[in-house]
Amino acid sequence: MKCRVCRGPAVIDVRRQNANYCRDHFLRMCRDQVTKAIDEFGMLRPEERVLVAVSGGKDSLACWHILRELGYEADGFVIGLGIGDYSLESTRFARSFAEERGWTLHETSLRDDHGFDVPTAAKATHRVPCSACGLSKRHLFDAAAREHGYDVVATGHNLDDEAAVLFGNVLRWQTDYLGRQQPVLPARNGFPRKVKPLVRLGERETAAYCVLAGIDYIVEECPMAAGNRHLGYKEALNAIELQSPGSKHDFYFGFLKRASGRFLTDAEAEQNDLDACGKCGAPTTGDICAFCKLVDRAGGHEPVVLRDRR
Amino acid sequence: MKVLLRNPRRELEVAGPISVIALLNRLDMNRESVLVIQGDELIPGDAMLDDAQTIEIRPVISGGCA
């Protein structure tokens, strides 16, 4: 295998591009793809302060690293989710990454600062853990951006994430979700702008970026996500990708180009009439926001003892 | 060769020589879903692996849906 750019020995193939790359040109290709996404969707302006939602996994650390490499003023924010050793370990990776580089990492803990954790919330609400986890993350990232004066929240969602979410939303024709599935969500009613700079990079590429850039990340999978529907969608899409490279890219970017606009009204209808939460002041469609309701239901419960589901 | 697998972490012994792609096929793994790593370096799909090597097959799929 030879590098597409320099014809030197390649270390990785990117089949959807029908290309192979050496280390240096692969890292450059990743940065170029992020630049292209930022420009194409108007994600960031050079002077803006960016808060990167960091988990300690490959995507968020790659996102943070690339944004800094591109010259953005980007700091990190990590949430202790209370998912046993997995959360402790993933937070350790985030801290080490920031400390080694002297970068600012803000932290909060669900258990210490809000009185519950993800396993407890799942038990108290009788819903899947990913539901409470996602709700908490979205709320706390928004709140942290407002509190610390960041213009934008950047997340590490990659092409595989977006294609899998799209796949699930299409399977169930969740038209409100389809209307909201954009690489940029504009700032509105107290929510900061949210951007996904990695949408042009596949999951295998973000992992390879970390290995080649010397970024240590948590490889272990979240024990609460094991066997979830989202992973099943990713596996299904990768089975298609194996036979037909480029399918995930065409599926997602074809949706953005040709179909997403048709669902905007469904999403807009749901997001009208936002008011301030009576408890925390966050924007909400009701009197109390979903996060504060979660705190009420899950707060005060003793932590759930985790059993390894892997 | 020694092959380290993740999630859950375990080790296999596989006889070489064998190419990376052939190894992944033998283990019924999708090449779109993994990286093959030796030390801090990626091993490309057409590389031949021999008995003396220790490699890691690292999954790249992560599952949070938030």
Per the structure, the count of domains in chain B is: 1
Q: What is the CATH number of the domain that holds A202?
A: 3.40.50.620
Assess if residue B66 is contained within a domain: no
- Note the pLDDT of residue B64: 59
Provide the number of CB pairs (under 8 Å) joining chain A to chain B: 101
Q: Is A59 helix (H, G, I), strand (E, B) or coil?
A: helix
Whole-structure pTM value: 0.94
CB A168 within 8 A of CB A162: no
Judge: B61–A211 Cβ closer than 8 Å, yes or no.
no
Tokens of A170: 């299409």
Residue A298 lies in a domain: no
3-state SS, residue A74: strand
CB–CB contact B65 A220 (8 Å): no
Closest CA to A53 of A127, A128, A161: A161
Identify the CATH number of the domain in which residue B33 sits: 3.10.20.30
Note whether B64 contacts A230, CB cutoff 8 Å. Answer: yes
In a domain? residue A177:
yes
With an 8 Å Cβ cutoff, are A58 and B58 in contact?
no
Give how many domains chain A has, as a whole number. Answer: 1
ipTM of predicted assembly, 2 dp: 0.95
Answer yes or no: do B42 and A212 touch at CB < 8 A: yes
Domain-embedded: residue A223: yes
* Distance of residue B54 Cα from the nearest chain A Cα, in angstroms: 17
Is residue B65 domain-resident?
no
Distance of CA A224 to the CA centre of its chain: 17
Across chain A, where does the E strand assignment appear? 12-14, 19-21, 49-54, 73-80, 105-109, 152-154, 184-185, 193-195, 275-276, 283-284
Q: Which of B6, B21, B61, B62 to mutate to test the interface with A (most CBs of A within 10 A)?
A: B62
Range(s) of the domain holding residue A213:
32-263
Would A143 be classed as within a structural domain? yes
Residue A26 lies inside a defined structural domain of this protein: no
- Cβ distance of B62 and A58 shorter than 8 Å: yes
> pLDDT 10s per residue in chain A (310 long)?
999 999 999 999 999 999 999 999 999 999 999 999 999 999 999 999 999 999 999 999 999 999 999 999 999 999 999 999 999 999 999 999 999 999 999 999 999 999 999 999 998 888 888 889 999 999 999 999 999 999 999 999 999 999 999 999 999 999 989 999 999 999 987 789 999 999 999 999 999 999 999 999 999 988 988 778 999 999 999 999 999 999 999 999 999 999 999 998 766 766 667 788 999 988 888 899 999 999 999 887 777 766 554 4
Chain A residue with minimal CA distance to B34?
A: A204
Looking at CA atoms only, how far is residue B61 from chain A in angstroms? Answer: 7
For residue B15, is it within any domain? yes
Task: Decide if A292 is inside a domain.
Answer: no
